[in-house]
Every structure is written in C-alpha cells, then in structure tokens.
C-alpha cells in the first residue's frame, strides 16, 4: 500500500527524534483529507497522540507550540519535501513525483487488493464470522426492513471477506410459529397449488391476508391451533404442505437475491430449532435459571439484584417455545458447528432489547463467547412507495427502480446505445438504492425519495455508476496503459495531485469501516473520488495532449476507476461499463 511506505518513512524519522518505536507512531500518522483550499499536506501527525505532557486540558496554544518545536527538529528528505504545522499537528508533504509514481504503481499492481493489504490491518487477527441477515418471514411482507438487513449484511460480509476473514452467511427464515397454523387453514380454504408453484410469495401472502380477516372466528382459531399442533407433532400430511410453502418460497427468494447480487451459505430457520429449544429449556432448568410465574410462563431473571426488575420470557404457559428460545438454540448450534470467533446479527433497532436479552441469557448459561456476539442495528425507512402503492415485496422495489431508471436513461441526452439496457438500468438503480441507504449512520431513520435517489448529479449511486462508465470508456478508447514508462512529472497539476492524495487515503477509510461496520465512510470516500475524477476529467484532457502527458493522465484515470470499482463492489454494487 502506497500510504504504508510513506507512513513508515515519516515514522522512522519521528522515532529518532521522539525516541519511540516507529510501529507505535504509524497509527498516529494519517492522510489529510483533500480540501477545496487546494494546497494541503499529504499526512499529519497529531501532537496530542505522541507527547506525554499533552494532557486533555492542554491549551490549543500549548499544542501548537509543541508542534512547532517538533517540526524544527525534523528534516526534509528524499520522501518528504515540506514540513509545516497546523493547529496541534505536524504536516508532511510528500515529494510530488514520488507521490504520483508510488500511488499509481501500487494501485495498478494490487488491483482489487489495493488498500486491504495495508499494515493498518497487520495487527487484526484473521477470524471466522457468522453473519445472520435478511431473514424474511414466509407468507408475510418482505418489507423494506428486510431489504436494509439484506444490503447491510451483504456489505459486512463483503468487507470481512476482502480483509481475509472467513465468513458464513446465514439467512434465518421465519418459517415456524402460530401463523403457520393460520396459513395452513387458509391454504386449505383458498389455496391454489398452481399459484403456489408459479408465485409462492405473492400467493401465500394473499392467502394469509384472506384468512386473517376471519382469524377472530372461534372455529378458524381452533382449526389453526389444530394445524400447528399437528405440525409440531410431525403429522406427515401437514408437514408435507408446510414443506412446500418453505421450499417454493426459498426458490423464489434465491432468484430475487440473485438480482441483488446476494448469496447465502445456509438457509436456516426457526423450524430447525423447535426441538432443540426444548433442550435449551432443560439446560436453563438444570442451571437453576428457569423460573415459573403465577400465569405458568417460564422466565429468566436478568436483573443484577435478582429482583426480577428485568427478565425475559422463554416459554409459554402451554410449554411451547418462543422466538428467543429458538434463537438461543440457534446460537448454541452455530457455535458448535462453526466454532466461529464472532456472530453478527443484522436487524432493525426495534430488536435491540431482544438481542440484549439473548446475549445476557447465553452468558448466564456459561457461554463466554456471548461477549463476541454483536447486534448491528439499523433505523427505519419512511416513505418508500411504488407507483402501485405500498411496498409489499422486494421484487416490486427492484422492478420499480429498474423501470424508473430505464425512463431516465431514455430521456437523458448523454445515454449511449447500450447492449443490455434492462440489465444496466437494474444495476444503476440498485446502486441508487444502496447509496441512499448507506450515506448516513445505519442506526438513523431516513425519508426515502425516488427523485433524490435517482438523480444523475450530486451524491448518488447513479453519479458513481456514471463516473465509472465514463472512466471505463476512456480506457477503452485509448487502451490500458502499462505503467513502466509513464512520465509522472506530467502529473503535477493541482487536480491531478488531489486525485492522488485521495487515493492515498483509501486504506484508512477501509480501516474505519472495518472497525465500526458503518458503510458511510466508504460511501463518502467514493463520492469524493468521483467528484475529483470528474473535475480532473474536465481540466486534464487526454485527447489532444502531448503523448507522455496523455499517457500519464490515462494512468491516473485508470487508477481512480480501479479504486472506485473496488469500493463499489464492497458496498454490493456491480459497476457498469456503459451508461
């Protein structure tokens, strides 16, 4: 990684002056974000992070004085061409030709591994992670929360795989519970085998809505209870119908996930754990953790003082298991089967309490690995409607975004004749959805807007795709450059330097996202990269320039496109080459 070589060089000079090992200094030296003010240094050292006497109440003046004192003791060399100070920082400017040569060489040599090979990750152990995400309920709406869970879980899995971790992607379906009693009765009344085969999600949802209207009828309630009891008793005919609901639904899910570019290693579900949940209840009882209430329900006391000020209900009065009991069984089973280092659950923030209880009970049961379980929560999306009304199925959203994008592409003056407009519209539309979703903190709620998401200018997924396609066509026009003979002295314009400085920061951005699992750092980085590349594309023409200037610029744009594509793929976006 280009930044690593420069950080190391600066750290080695600092270590002699500060008498600290260079490896202690590397993380205190960060790349400076590109500024509109144009001339900024490339790296900065925060004085507060390296001097012992800079306590939290050190004044800004003190820190500035310390920065100046330190800067006076440092010398420029073959790598650093200028040393200056800022508020509490020492700033380092890298020799301009060395900057261009090192960054371009590294980006084009590392390809898709640029940034992930950085020494910032050297202290991070390779791990095995189980990530549970998406997890729709069969026969209920695949609502927008499931879409968020799907794209966020996919991003976390992509990032971990890119950084060399082993990942198991699990889709934990809501495929058990009383609603299947109701659905079974509904299907016997209103079901159609042909429709179940051709569009299972739609048909089961319609049946469920229809039977729900009669759910208060005592006779229907009794039939539903009987159906679910038979299911729990493994009655062959009942189980066979339930299995059809599940299998046809999974087939259709797989087809839809394929459109999203998402795959799973395992389709699991609550049904797998209805028997194992009885084992969990027995373990809780054996450990003296299960208490019976007056109503006959089983609870686990989670309060510190053991005064039941906080508890979790784990079994109904009739002895049947609850969602949390099945989740306990699933967590224990996964840890036994996969021996993973971490388990991540991606669901909306309304379930935060549920996961807090889940992890607490696991800890009380003596499972220390509960400490390594994590709930990545996200906020709600308001206002997502298709032209046909409220969103019911994910497929409606995908079809809507594709048709709106096709319309926009058809009316845009810049659209070229492209081979597969439907496919391109879908990829660009999906980028629009993902970027709108990932721009803020995951835990924030946000108001969805089709118009804002699909704008071709501004900070949108459409703009990222447009920039990528434009840079790709530049490469196609002039052929891919071999870097060996590029004259980097031709890349000294401020707009070229800004792109190079920004490419330098990529590993730090990946590191931040890997620490807090927030995609917004990468989104913001890619949007800035696209804006910088767009400006450079205008001010640094390839066509009509002297051969060595044209060649150096092509190389710069190729490096920008390569990093843009890498980042987009981590977010779950397939970069398009025509638009």
The 10 Å CB-count burial string (b at 16+, else e) for 427-448 is bbbbbbbbbbbbbeebeeebeb
The 10 Å CB-count burial string (b at 16+, else e) for 503-541 is bbbbbbbbbebbeebbbbbbbebbbbbbbbbbebbeebe
Decide if 396 contacts 384 (C-beta within 8 A).
Answer: no
Decide if 20 contacts 70 (C-beta within 8 A).
Answer: no
User: Which residues, other chains included, contact 227 with Cβ-Cβ below 8 Å and sequence gap of 6+?
Assistant: 180, 181, 182, 184, 185, 238
Query: What length is written for the chain?
Result: 579
For 494, counting Cβ atoms within 10 Å of its Cβ (0-12 exposed, 13-18 middle, 19+ buried), the class is exposed
Tell me, rounded to whole angstroms, the distance of Cα 475 from its chain centroid: 29
Read off φ and ψ for residue 390, nearest 5 degrees: -65, 145
Residue 25: name the closest of 38, 11, 42, 39 by CA.
Answer: 11
Task: Quote the CA–CA distance of 372 and 381 in Å, as a whole number.
Answer: 29
Q: List the beta strands (DSSP E) in 329-486.
A: 342-348, 373-378, 381-382, 385-386, 389-390, 446-447
**Helices and strands per DSSP (H, E), number in the chain:** 21, 16
Decide if 346 contacts 132 (C-beta within 8 A).
Answer: yes
Decide if 509 contacts 522 (C-beta within 8 A).
Answer: yes
Task: Quote the CA–CA distance of 139 and 191 in Å, as a whole number.
Answer: 12
User: Which residues, other chains included, contact 467 with Cβ-Cβ below 8 Å and sequence gap of 6+?
Assistant: 530, 533, 534, 564
Give the 3-state secondary structure of residue 216: coil
Q: Which residues are catalytic?
A: 140, 143, 146
Give the DSSP letter of residue 384. Answer: -
The sign of the CA dihedral 84, 90, 95, 99 is: negative
């Amino acid at each position: 990684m280009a930044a690593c070589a420069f950080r190391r060089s600066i750290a080695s000079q600092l270590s002699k002056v500060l008498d600290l090992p260079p490896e202690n200094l590397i993380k205190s030296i960060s790349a400076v974000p590109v500024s509109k003010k144009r001339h900024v240094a490339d790296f900065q050292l925060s004085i507060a992070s390296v001097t012992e006497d800079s306590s939290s109440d050190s004044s800004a003046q003190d820190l500035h004085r310390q920065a100046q004192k330190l800067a006076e003791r440092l010398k420029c060399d073959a790598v650093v061409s200028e040393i200056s100070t800022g508020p509490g920082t020492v700033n380092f400017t890298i020799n301009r030709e060395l900057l261009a040569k090192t960054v371009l060489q590294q980006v084009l040599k590392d390809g898709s591994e640029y940034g992930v090979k950085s020494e910032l990750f050297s202290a991070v152990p390779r791990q095995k992670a189980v990530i549970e995400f998406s997890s729709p309920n069969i026969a209920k709406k695949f609502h927008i929360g499931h879409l968020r869970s799907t794209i966020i879980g996919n991003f976390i899995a992509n990032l971990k795989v890119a950084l060399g971790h082993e990942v198991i992607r699990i889709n934990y379906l809501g495929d058990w519970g009383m609603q299947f009693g109701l659905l079974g009765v509904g299907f016997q009344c209103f079901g159609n085998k042909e429709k179940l085969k051709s569009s299972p999600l739609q048909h089961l949802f319609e049946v469920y809505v229809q039977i729900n209207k009669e759910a208060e009828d005592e006779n229907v309630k009794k039939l539903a209870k009987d159906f679910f009891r038979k299911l729990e008793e493994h009655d062959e005919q009942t189980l066979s119908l339930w299995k059809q609901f599940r299998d046809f639904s999974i087939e259709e899910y797989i087809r839809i996930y394929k459109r999203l570019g998402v795959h799973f290693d395992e389709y699991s579900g609550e049904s797998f754990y209805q028997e194992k949940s009885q084992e969990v209840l027995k373990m809780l009882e054996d450990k003296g953790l299960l208490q019976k209430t007056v109503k006959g329900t089983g609870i686990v006391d989670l309060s510190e003082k053991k005064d039941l000020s906080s508890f979790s209900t784990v079994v109904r009065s009739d002895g049947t298991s609850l969602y949390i009991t099945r989740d306990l069984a699933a967590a224990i089973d996964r840890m036994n089967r996969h021996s993973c280092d971490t388990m991540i659950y991606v669901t909306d923030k309304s379930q935060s309490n549920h996961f807090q209880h889940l992890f607490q009970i696991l800890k009380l049961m003596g499972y220390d690995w509960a400490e390594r379980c994590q709930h990545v929560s996200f906020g709600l999306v308001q206002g997502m409607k298709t032209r046909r009304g409220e969103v019911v199925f994910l497929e409606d959203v995908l079809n809507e975004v594709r048709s709106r994008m096709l319309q926009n592409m058809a009316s845009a003056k810049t659209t070229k004749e492209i081979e597969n407009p439907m496919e391109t519209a879908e990829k660009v539309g999906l980028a629009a959805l993902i970027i709108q979703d990932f721009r803020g903190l995951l835990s924030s709620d946000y108001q969805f807007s089709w118009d804002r998401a699909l704008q071709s200018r501004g900070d949108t997924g459409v703009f990222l795709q447009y920039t990528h396609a434009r840079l790709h066509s530049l490469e196609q026009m002039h052929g891919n450059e071999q870097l060996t003979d590029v004259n980097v002295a031709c890349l000294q314009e401020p707009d070229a330097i800004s792109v190079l400085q920004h490419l330098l920061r990529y590993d730090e951005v990946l590191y931040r996202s890997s620490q807090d699992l927030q995609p917004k750092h990468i989104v913001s980085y890619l949007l800035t990269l696209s804006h910088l590349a767009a400006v450079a594309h205008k001010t640094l023409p390839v066509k009509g320039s002297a051969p060595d200037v044209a060649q150096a610029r092509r190389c710069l744009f190729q490096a920008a496109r390569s990093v843009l594509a890498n980042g987009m793929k981590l977010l779950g976006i397939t970069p398009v080459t025509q638009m």
